[in-house]
């Protein structure tokens, strides 16, 4: 039996927005074992050119990601939704182990099961090198503060 992960589909504007923020908060934790619980056991991802299937592969993927993408801070924003699907856009900032900073921009398409677990995730992402002085995300690592500007507010 699946664990429920509210809010559940079909989504409203309020519940879709809440679901996006919950996903953002999870990813900002940078804890693969916590993040993976939001996905079905057989979840399927396309992330850039990599294909990931199931929770074990998700944990391995996220572990590699956050070992490489240091000081990771993410903002997500709902783009649209219908029934059990969402379109989300995002931007995150990170640095590599040589101190080079990047802002990664992307779009995701999500599909949820009846229990509110994400079963499909398709992500298209581009990385833009930035100077440290161009960073816009300066909160302490972890959850983005509620009063931090949104992607739209930042002009992203």
The pLDDT tens digits of the residues spanning 92-138 come to 999 999 999 999 999 999 999 999 999 999 999 999 999 999 999 99
Q: Where are the beta strands (DSSP E) in the chain?
A: 39-47, 50-53, 70-82, 85-95, 101-112, 118-130
Q: Which domains does the chain have, with CATH numbers?
A: 13-154 (3.10.450.50)
The pLDDT tens digits of the residues spanning 52-90 come to 999 999 999 999 999 999 999 999 999 999 999 999 999
Cα separation, 120 vs 103, in Å, equals 24
Write out the H or E segment, with its range, that includes residue 34.
Answer: helix 32-35
């Amino acid at each position: 039996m699946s664990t429920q992960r509210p809010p559940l589909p079909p989504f409203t504007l309020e519940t879709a927005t809440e679901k996006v923020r919950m996903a953002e908060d999870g990813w900002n934790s940078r804890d693969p074992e916590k993040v993976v619980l939001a996905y079905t056991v057989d979840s399927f991802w396309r992330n850039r050119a990599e294909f990931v299937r199931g929770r074990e592969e998700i944990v391995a993927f996220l572990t590699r990601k956050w070992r490489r993408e240091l000081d990771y801070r993410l903002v997500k924003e709902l783009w649209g939704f219908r029934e059990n699907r969402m379109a989300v856009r995002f931007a995150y900032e990170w640095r590599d182990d040589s101190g080079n900073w990047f802002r990664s921009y992307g779009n995701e398409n999500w599909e949820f099961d009846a229990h509110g677990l994400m079963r499909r995730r398709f992500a298209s992402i581009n990385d833009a090198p930035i100077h440290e002085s161009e960073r816009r995300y300066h909160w302490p690592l972890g959850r983005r503060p509620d009063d931090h500007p949104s992607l739209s507010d930042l002009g992203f």
